Amino acid sequence: MKSLINKSMLYAVVFAVTGTVGAVFSSEVESQELNMLSGYPSNFAWYREIGPSFIEMVDKLSEGSVQIAVQGPDVVPTFEQLQPVQAGVFDLLFTHPAYHSGTTAVGLSIDAIDVDPVKRREEGIIDYIDAHYQELGLKLISAPSTGSKGFRFYLRDPITGVPGLEGRRIRGTVSYQSMIEELGGAQVNMPVTDIYTALQRGVVDGAAWGLTGASDLQWHEIIGYMTDPEFGQVGVMIFMNLDRWNALEADAQEVLDQAGKKIEIDSVAHFDALQKKEADFLMKNGVQITSFSQAESDDHERLWAEGVWKVAEEQSGDDARRLRELANQPTCPTDSCHLMAGVYALAT
């Protein structure tokens, strides 16, 4: 799978976005005060490294005319946040789409599609997901990725055989379930706030998690190992209540749209650097690398992608299948052309 971004194209998009800063608010408009509900506390990496930057971009592009205030999961629990945004109680939602997969799993499919923010937009991936959510009363503003790679397992004890997770209870979400089971483990669902205590007490033997955030959660105090290889992608999303979006003036809509596109581009390299710092920190604090067998390592990407698409298609049927078809369309007529999520074509 090719996950590197075409840099010349990326820089062109960045220039196109940042080069219009002075032209976005070309006329006097009514000030907008928006409220955002976040699925993560303010100090958690996925929100901390994306949310404030997005808000700052909106403020700058709008010359202070669009302001966003944030409330977190202490106000509405993470897994219950979609409905109040649909109902207009909150204007914006910062979340991972796995948290509302019971309503729709189309959004979580982004985790099985190559991390290339330019191509995702050029080839209609983001437009398709946006159109789907608009049917649910939501507008997709942005789909930032937390790096070129997304996940690994964090374990109390090292891998010693095949399958590598045999007999272990692993905390995960619906996105991980198939992969965990294929690797011999049993998935346990629980909120983020319960993971530390569950690991500490041996209620679970490990957790599937992103490549950033474990240090914020202080897991290095209670686990001994993190696995190789890394796999998959993490695509968080910023949604807006559709009625609230439609009520905005065009200038304000353009501000949110431009900020959303730019944060998608900025987040990849930013999180790649953070992931390296995170791994270095964990290892300095006693966490060791433990590896799956070569055969299982080689199969990680397929297992992850098949699991994500399986959940998406079971929950959202043809809507997810059409997105999968779109994601697997070749972008040129030759055998060497890049496929969006092309490695996952094996699963079609």
pLDDT over threshold 90, residue 201: yes
pLDDT over threshold 80, residue 186: yes
- pLDDT for the residue 56: 97
- DSSP structure string for 172-193: --HHHHHHHHHTT-EEE---HH
Which one is the CATH code of 151-232+276-314: 1.10.20.10, 3.40.50.1370, 3.40.190.170, 1.20.1730.10? 3.40.190.170
Instruction: Quote the distance between the C-alpha of residue 211 and its chain's center.
Output: 12
Across residues 46-73, what is the average pLDDT?
Answer: 96
Label residues 261-272 b or e (16+ Cβ within 10 Å = b): bbbbbbbbebbb
pLDDT over threshold 90, residue 337: no
- pLDDT for the residue 25: 54
pLDDT over threshold 60, residue 17: no
- Could you tell me which of 297, 159, 279, 175 has the C-alpha nearest to residue 219? 279
Confidence of residue 11 (pLDDT cuts 50, 70, 90): very low
Q: Hey, do 32-147+235-271 and 151-232+276-314 end up sharing a CATH topology, with the first three levels equal?
A: yes
- Could you tell me which of 309, 240, 234, 230 has the C-alpha nearest to residue 47? 234
Residues of the chain above pLDDT 90, percent: 77
Distance between CA atoms of 327 and 344, rounded to whole angstroms? 9
Across residues 222-228, what is the average pLDDT?
Answer: 97
Burial class (CB in 10 A: 0-12, 13-18, 19+), 174: buried
Q: Is 32 helix (H, G, I), strand (E, B) or coil?
A: strand
- Could you tell me which of 76, 109, 112 has the C-alpha nearest to residue 94? 76
Q: Give per-residue pLDDT as tens, 157-169.
A: 999 999 999 999 9
Task: Count CB neighbours of 27 within 10 A.
Answer: 7
pLDDT over threshold 70, residue 66: yes
pTM summary value: 0.80
Instruction: Quote the distance between the C-alpha of residue 149 and its chain's center.
Output: 10
- pLDDT for the residue 330: 55
For 201-300, strand residue ranges (E) read: 206-210, 225-228, 237-241, 288-291
**Domain limits of the chain?**
32-147+235-271, 151-232+276-314
Confidence of residue 344 (pLDDT cuts 50, 70, 90): very low
- pLDDT for the residue 175: 83
pLDDT over threshold 70, residue 291: yes
Across residues 220-238, what is the average pLDDT?
Answer: 95
Of the two residues 7 and 240, the one the predictor is more confident about is 240
Considering Cα of 23, then 26, then 31, then 32, what sign does the dihedral take? negative
* Residues forming a β-bridge with 280: none
User: Tokens 């070309």 — which residue?
Assistant: 26
- pLDDT for the residue 29: 54
Residue 159 carries which side chain, given as an amino acid letter? I
Task: Count CB neighbours of 83 within 10 A.
Answer: 12
Q: For 144, list phi and psi in degrees, rounded to 5.
A: -70, 145
CA atoms within 13 A on the CB side of 11: 2
Confidence of residue 174 (pLDDT cuts 50, 70, 90): confident
- pLDDT for the residue 7: 36
Instruction: Quote the distance between the C-alpha of residue 282 and its chain's center.
Output: 22
Query: Which one-letter DSSP state was computed for residue 333?
Result: S
Of the two residues 28 and 102, the one the predictor is more confident about is 102
Average pLDDT, the chain: 87
Confidence of residue 5 (pLDDT cuts 50, 70, 90): very low
Residues of the chain above pLDDT 70, percent: 86
Confidence of residue 334 (pLDDT cuts 50, 70, 90): very low
- pLDDT for the residue 190: 86
pLDDT over threshold 60, residue 101: yes
Q: How big is the chain, counted in residues?
A: 348
User: Tokens 């698409």 — which residue?
Assistant: 309
Question: Are the CB atoms for 211 and 279 separated by under 8 Å?
Answer: yes
pLDDT over threshold 60, residue 12: no
- pLDDT for the residue 16: 43
Question: Are the CB atoms for 102 and 82 separated by under 8 Å?
Answer: no
Distance between CA atoms of 44 and 212, rounded to whole angstroms? 9
Domain 32-147+235-271: which topology?
D-Maltodextrin-Binding Protein; domain 2 (3.40.190)
- pLDDT for the residue 31: 86
pLDDT over threshold 50, residue 216: yes
